[in-house]
Amino acid sequence: MDAVVFVNGTIRPAADAVISVFDHGFLYGEGVYETMRTYERAPFLLDRHLARLRRSAALMRLPLPFSDGEIGGDIERTMAERPDWGECYIRVLVTRGVGDLSYDPSVTPTPSVVIIVKPLVLPPERSFSDGVAVAVVDVRRNHPQALNPLMKSNNLLNNALAAQDAYARGADEALMLNHAGELAEGSQTNVFVVKDGGVWTPPLSAGLLPGITREFVLELAAEAGYPGGERTLTPEDVARADELFLTGTTREITPVARVDGTPVASGRPGRITLALLERFRARVRELAPEPRV
Ligand code: PDD
Going by alpha carbons, the residue nearest to atom 9 of ligand 1 is: 189
DSSP character at residue 94: E
Residues in Cβ contact with 88 at an 8 Å cutoff, skipping those fewer than 6 apart:
37, 38, 41, 79, 82, 117, 118, 119, 120
Span from the CA of 122 to the centroid of ligand 1 (angstroms)? 15
**pLDDT (tens digit, 9 = 90+) per residue, 40-76?**
999 999 999 999 999 999 999 999 999 999 999 999 9
Confidence check: pLDDT of 292 > 80: no
**pLDDT (tens digit, 9 = 90+) per residue, 218-266?**
999 999 999 999 999 999 999 999 999 999 999 999 999 999 999 999 9
Q: Dump strand ranges (E) for 226-291.
A: 228-230, 243-248, 252-259, 262-263
Going by alpha carbons, the residue nearest to atom 21 of ligand 1 is: 35
Burial of 267 (0-12, 13-18, 19+ CB in 10 A): exposed
Section 8-17 average pLDDT:
97
Residues in Cβ contact with 18 at an 8 Å cutoff, skipping those fewer than 6 apart:
7
Going by alpha carbons, the residue nearest to atom 11 of ligand 1 is: 211
Q: Dump strand ranges (E) for the chain.
A: 4-7, 10-13, 31-39, 42-43, 88-95, 112-119, 132-136, 173-177, 183-186, 190-195, 198-201, 228-230, 243-248, 252-259, 262-263
Span from the CA of 186 to the centroid of ligand 1 (angstroms)? 9
**pLDDT (tens digit, 9 = 90+) per residue, 125-148?**
999 999 999 999 999 999 999 999
Regarding the beta carbon of 155 and ligand 1, being less than 6 Å apart is answered no
**34, 55, 190, 250: residue to mutate for ligand 1 pocket, most atoms within 8 A of CB:** 190
DSSP character at residue 106: G
Regarding the beta carbon of 38 and ligand 1, being less than 6 Å apart is answered no
- Contact between 133 and 186 under an 8 Å Cβ cutoff? The reply is no
Confidence check: pLDDT of 293 > 90: no
| pLDDT of amino acid 59 | 98
Regarding the beta carbon of 189 and ligand 1, being less than 6 Å apart is answered yes
Section 24-38 average pLDDT:
98
Ligand 1 atom, smallest distance to 91 CA: 21
**pLDDT (tens digit, 9 = 90+) per residue, 171-222?**
999 999 999 999 999 999 999 999 999 999 999 999 999 999 999 999 999 9
Element (H, E) at 219: helix 212-223
Residues in Cβ contact with 72 at an 8 Å cutoff, skipping those fewer than 6 apart:
43, 46, 50
Q: pTM of the predicted model, to two decimals?
A: 0.97
Regarding the beta carbon of 159 and ligand 1, being less than 6 Å apart is answered yes
Regarding the beta carbon of 108 and ligand 1, being less than 6 Å apart is answered no
Q: Which residue, 247, 242, 169, is CA-closest to 202?
A: 247
